[in-house]
A = this chain, B = another copy of it.
Amino acid sequence: MEFKQRTVFCGTLRKSDVGTEVTLNGWVQKRRDLGGVIFVDLRDRTGLVQVVLNPEFNASAHEIGDKVRTEYVISVKGKVVERDAETVNPNMLTGEIEVQVDEIEIINAAKTPPFFIEDGVEVDEQVRLKYRYLDLRRPEMYKTLQMRHKVTKIIRDYLDSREFLEVETPILTKSTPEGARDYLVPSRVSPGEFFALPQSPQLFKQLLMVAGYERYFQIARCFRDEDLRADRQPEFTQVDIETSFLNMEELLSMMEGMMKLVCKEVLGVEVETPFQRLTYADAMNRYGSDKPDLRFGMELVDIGDIAENCGFQVFSSVIKKGNQVKGINVKGCAHYSRKDVDELMKFAARYGAKGLAWMAFKDDEIKGPIAKFFSEEEVSQIKDRMQVEDNDLILFVADKAKVVADSLGALRLKFGKELGLIDESKFAFAWVVDFPLLEWDEDAKRYVALHHPFTRPRPEDVELFDSEPGQIRAQAYDMVLNGYEIGGGSMRIYKRDVQEKMFKALGFSQEEAQEQFGFLLDAFEYGTPPHGGMAFGLDRIVMILANRTSLRDTIAFPKTASARDIMTDAPGTVDTKQLEELSIRVSMPKKETK
């Protein structure tokens, strides 16, 4: 070999190693010269250790050590020695020892990196992404990707031990008319035709059930060409699962067991099962969200019955129109100023609220402009229902159900964070169930599927297809963790008559259904087992478990919000010849044409 290979990893050395000869390979984190002695913090993926080049101990090693700079790759050989009491570093796992170097070799030099390789570094993310290979050196990035590896390993082992098969499904597949925008891939062999990258392996996993595979999973790359928000990536990873002959309870319990194991193995956290369950209606009513953060209370309280006949015209008229008046109790915040409340109003307005009514209870006094419209009994009813104590501030929104839910739900989350109501050590899992099967689309004047047209209704609701399709509850479920939807799925329709009712409710003719879902419907003719499954967002799960705030921190080589990889500078232009072979031409948008 062209250099002396390590005998041990830097971060693993301890007091018990004192006296041993070791060789280390790694990167120079820091180099200091103190009174002619050179101290190097040497880093590998396990951590740091201090190595010392003392000219009195070895002059030639010291001479080489003098040339060493930050991020050089070096090999050192020496003896592990105990540090003097006063130089022990209690903040380093290896802080009780150091390595007295006898031989040193520069394996590779390095230019000064554009930012320090350390946690919590304050660097523009564009720079971090351009030099991603340096950003990834930072211990918190390594630990996050290590955790990601561990999470996928645990999931794979769990599913394997339950007889699931991991099956790879195509990346070059067919464009589907429903759903988000597809990424397209022009075909060279079939000019004018295109593959699409999959938004999920949904069709293929259902076909594997038709094929009798019974238990399928895949850690699958999926693609959506959407305008990116902070927490979206054009390519993302899904833990994709489908099973046959299981009922919903069996599937949900299996999935709970999986997440319980992940939390235990990765974080040492014991999560209780079965998870709490909320119906969709409950979640919206109580938390104003279909992915409620259950780590704290501050539930939305309906005071519609009290508001209906109260003297405050705004409230009573809203109720008469069939809308809602609900409030939240912001404990101990009666001291909020008029200006504070104005800010909250602006915040609520972003979610569509036209106003924010409030009452503050302080020293048996009620502040707030609407107080005077309520009788003593009405106030007492409100206080009772909302568990108001002295110093509490209550906020009301009176509007359509959606606006009430969105604005109060958002306020609730805002207070949860800002008032420190959230127990950050908690992992509050829940299932949200009983989603409506169909949603009325006011523009199209027809029902559309809330999940997809193969979602199975609850058997007792099937009869509602003819009377009240909007009331049918789906056998669909989302797994929620700390206010994020981390997974979702459904049992699928496998009975022909139910499928026909569904298509009819969606206003599809037999021909239209065939056109849109052709080969899947064909497949369903050949003996389809009862089946259902779900999909988890792996990037998001890792983000939550690793306590990161961006999905980009969970992906080794992510894209920016404008869907670019600024390290490799992708996408880029290509040769005309390449396009010719694919029978396509670039046709720039009109605005930019000269």
Contacts and interface: CB of A to CB of B under 8 A. Distances in A.
Contacts of A530: 1-3, 107
A167 interface: yes
Contacts of A173: 565, 568, 570
A571 to B, nearest CB: 4
B234 A172 contact: yes
Interface stretch (A203-211, A262-270, A297-305, A466-474): A203-211
A171 B174 contact: no
A274 interface: no
Interface in A572-588: 572-574, 578-588
Contact of A170 (B194, B225, B235): B235
A77 to B, nearest CB: 14
A133 B183 CA distance: 26
Contacts of A113: 526
A72 B189 CA distance: 39
Interface residues of A, number: 122
B245 A25 contact: yes
A146 to B, nearest CB: 6
B581 A137 contact: no
22 contacts: A73-B529, A108-B496, A108-B527, A108-B528, A108-B529, A132-B207, A132-B211, A133-B526, A145-B213, A152-B166, A168-B221, A170-B557, A170-B570, A172-B183, A172-B571, A173-B570, A183-B185, A188-B225, A188-B563, A194-B572, A196-B574, A203-B568
B221 A526 contact: no
A44 interface: yes
Contacts of A3: 530
A76 to B, nearest CB: 13
Interface string A482-518: 0000000000001110000000000000000000000
Interface of A: 1-3, 5-6, 25, 27, 43-45, 71-73, 107-111, 113, 131-134, 136-137, 142, 145-146, 148-149, 152-153, 156, 160, 165-175, 181-197, 203-204, 207-208, 210-214, 221, 223, 225, 227, 234-235, 237, 245-247, 459, 494-496, 519, 523, 525-530, 555-557, 559, 562-565, 567-574, 578-589, 592
B168 A237 contact: yes
A569 B174 contact: yes
A589 B191 contact: yes
A585 B584 contact: yes
Contacts of A210: 133
A583 B588 contact: yes
What is the oligomeric copy number? 2
A546 to B, nearest CB: 14
Contacts of A527: 27, 71-73, 108-110
A475 to B, nearest CB: 11
A573 B192 contact: yes
B565 A174 contact: yes
Contact of A166 (B149, B185, B203, B571): B149
Given A556-B204, A563-B187, A578-B184, A247 B212 contact: no
Contact of A519 (B72, B237, B569): B569
Contacts of A134: 211, 526
A197 B145 CA distance: 23
B212 A172 contact: no
Contacts of A185: 183-185, 197, 571
A413 to B, nearest CB: 30
B583 A583 contact: no
Nearest to A112: B526
Contacts of A525: 110-111
A174 B573 CA distance: 9
Contacts of A234: 172
A142 B25 contact: no
Contact of A43 (B107, B174, B212, B586): B212
Given A187-B563, A192-B586, 14 more contacts: A2-B530, A6-B245, A45-B212, A73-B529, A108-B496, A142-B212, A148-B167, A170-B235, A172-B235, A181-B581, A184-B574, A190-B571, A195-B570, A195-B571
Instruction: Please give me the 6 A-B residue pairs with the lowest Cβ-Cβ distance, nearest first.
Output: A110-B527, A136-B211, A174-B570, A193-B571, A187-B571, A71-B527
A46 to B, nearest CB: 9
B184 A165 contact: no
B562 A189 contact: yes
